[in-house]
């Protein structure tokens, strides 16, 4: 004998309940990232995380730098929302490898951009043995635990040299294929 549908599903939640759950999730995300505010700027739910560690390359605060504006414009040209970027400034505060990994996992980006060789080294140190399982797509572009990682040694300086700038752009274009989750 077939059961009659009651017209009401037991797992459905109201719009108000959804809004409350969303607000709780946002508060939880922000609270989890609060310990990193001295070296973190940008979107707490970023699709792309950019990491810089070499203060000598550009001593200005990361969020105010012209190279970060160029990175935002490049990401926007590839279809990313202009504010879908989180900035991790390891020159402002050195994180242990464990802390950096926790920070990245908490944000849970689709892609990571290491803007200098020190940032690349810190990033790969934070993922330890998982780095052995990295898939190399091409020089400077890897897949690490499902995230595309682009390493650009000296991104800030590359903007002043046409050949280096072209190479940086080519690497960044790899992210265009990973826009959506």
Pairing of strands 147-151, 141-144: antiparallel
**H-helix or E-strand containing 29?**
helix 15-33
pLDDT at position 133: 66
Domain of 99, CATH number, reads: 3.40.470.10
Residue 89 has pLDDT above 70, yes or no: yes
Q: Is residue 113 part of a domain?
A: yes
Residue 78 has pLDDT above 80, yes or no: yes
Of 118-122, 126-130, 142-146, where does mean pLDDT reach its minimum? 126-130
Q: Work out the mean pLDDT of the chain and round it to a whole number.
A: 83
**Range(s) of the domain holding residue 96:** 39-178
Helix, strand, or coil (residue 39): coil
pLDDT at position 81: 85
Percent of the chain with pLDDT over 90: 34
Q: Is residue 48 part of a domain?
A: yes
Residue 82 has pLDDT above 80, yes or no: no
**Domains in the chain: how many in total?**
1
Q: Is residue 79 part of a domain?
A: yes
Average pLDDT over every residue of 24-45? 91
Of 15-19, 88-92, 131-135, where does mean pLDDT reach its minimum? 131-135
Residues present in the chain in total: 181
């Amino acid at each position: 004998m077939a059961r009659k549908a009651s017209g009401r599903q037991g797992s459905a939640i109201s719009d108000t309940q959804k809004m409350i759950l969303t607000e709780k999730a946002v508060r939880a995300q922000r609270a989890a990232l609060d310990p990193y505010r001295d070296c973190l700027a940008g979107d707490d739910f970023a699709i792309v995380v950019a990491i810089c560690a070499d203060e000598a390359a550009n001593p200005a605060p990361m969020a105010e730098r012209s190279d970060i504006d160029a990175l935002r414009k490049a990401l926007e040209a590839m279809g990313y929302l202009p504010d879908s970027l989180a900035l991790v400034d390891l020159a402002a505060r050195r994180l242990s490898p464990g802390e950096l990994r926790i920070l990245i996992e908490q944000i849970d980006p689709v892609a990571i951009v290491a803007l200098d060789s020190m940032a690349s080294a810190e990033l790969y140190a934070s993922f330890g043995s998982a780095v052995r399982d990295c898939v190399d797509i091409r020089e400077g572009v890897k897949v690490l635990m499902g995230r595309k990682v682009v390493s650009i040694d000296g991104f800030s300086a590359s903007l002043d040299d046409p050949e280096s700038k072209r190479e940086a752009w080519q690497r960044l274009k790899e992210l265009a294929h990973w826009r959506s989750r």
